Amino acid sequence: MISVEDFAAQADAWFAEHTPRGVPFMLPLTFMEVGTDEQFDFLRDWQNQVYRAGYLGAHWPTDYGGGGLTQKHQDAATRVMRKYNVPIMLNAIGIGWAGPLILDTGTEDEKRKYLPGILSADDIWCQGFSEPDNGSDLGNAQLKAVRDGDEYVLNGSKTWTTQGNYAKYMILLARTDFDAPNKYAGLSFFLAPMRIPGVETTKIRKLTGEYGFTQTFFTDARIPADTLMGQEGEGWKVAMRTLEYERGARGGQAGGYTISQTDPLEVVGLAKRATRNGQPALEDPVMRDRLMAQMIEGQAMMANRERAKIMPLVMERPFALPMLSKLQFTEYARETGELALELEGAQSGYYVGEAGSREDGYWQRSYLNAFSATIGGGTSQIQRNIVGEHVLGLPKTR
């Protein structure tokens, strides 16, 4: 097996040569903003190139399309991707949530059927958890799945289905028993096909003017019964495991990154160029303190990410740091964007494409988009409850 160091060197050379530059249209900052066919086609081709070169799914088994190497190999390749600030990986729900779930708990047939297409981006996945009337109350999902012979008949709606209009499959939480003793007991989990009669998607326009989310409607849509994952009525357990991948509390993702991370050094650069009372904003002692605090927090998060991998350091509470990561990283991105807009002062009111904007409205777009990550996968308020109950041992909310 190739050493991690040699693999990283190969990856460095490959990304130095192949990272796209000068793309003639605006690329999404995250997988939640893929709103045009032009963006979608570009990112699908890019993910496929990275996968074919061996730098995505490097640690997944070769039987299912992976490279058969180790997690350390994939981590090294992902670090190189960040170094070159490459475009995001498109198939986020596939490579980050559905893929590791299937790899971990799926049947042999499910692994062989679904995993290669996830890595190559031939098969795009979306998530069908949220519903229009239930917000973050995932346990109250109402979409019906009624067994009829070898099929389930679906009726209802899911919302915030990222890339739902492009997806071939959906990880779907549906209610199969309305008489169950509690709201969690009657749910089932499906690897549901999307390109079938009775499934329609409608694009949702966001605050930024971009798209990326859809609402998905199911009207007497029939899916094969063998798309049920696990046992009927035990979908809550499967969904919770999926959320552990989504929130970064459990590893096994295919690698790469699907959300561009904010670099606080970019904000320092902005502080050098922006002015306050006729002086560079970086000379303002209050602003210097805030910038330093932001950089320290950023360094602490990165240190914790590495610390979580060293078992002797975290063996008493192995999931404590991973459970914090989703809350920390998403709120950090939002706070960094907010700080950048403060530095821009009155010019922060100009958006992408407007004549008065600084850096073509990059920070405005980044800031507004940052809110979606603080909501998706459980809001920051939900994350704080999880940390309070499962890490700190506080009483559960009622």
Closest CA to 120 of 40, 49, 23: 49
Chain centre to alpha carbon of residue 222: 28
Instruction: Indicate the angle between helix axes 320-344 and 362-375, nearest 10 degrees.
Output: 150
Q: What angle do CA 333, 248, 87 make, to 5 degrees?
A: 55
Catalytic option among 244, 246, 306, 354:
246
Instruction: Determine the length of the chain.
Output: 398
SS3 101: helix
Instruction: Indicate the angle between helix axes 108-120 and 37-52, nearest 10 degrees.
Output: 110
Question: CA-CA distances (angstroms) from residue 98 to 73, 222, 239?
Answer: 21, 21, 10
Which amino acid is it at 42? F
Q: Answer yes or no: are the C-beta atoms of 169 and 114 closer than 8 Å.
A: yes
What tokens were used for 153? 């008949």
Q: Are strands 144-148 and 125-128 parallel, antiparallel or unpaired?
A: unpaired
The sign of the CA dihedral 241, 246, 250, 251 is positive
SS3 19: coil
Instruction: Indicate the angle between helix axes 264-273 and 285-307, nearest 10 degrees.
Output: 170
Cβ neighbors of 331 (< 8 A, separation 6 or more) are 374, 380
Beta strands in 87-150 (DSSP E): 125-128, 144-148
Buried-state track 129-160, b at ≥16 Cβ within 10 A, e below 16: bbbeeeeeebbebebebeeeeebbbbbbbbbb
Question: Does the annotation mark 246 as catalytic?
Answer: yes
Cβ neighbors of 309 (< 8 A, separation 6 or more) are none
Q: Which residues are catalytic?
A: 246
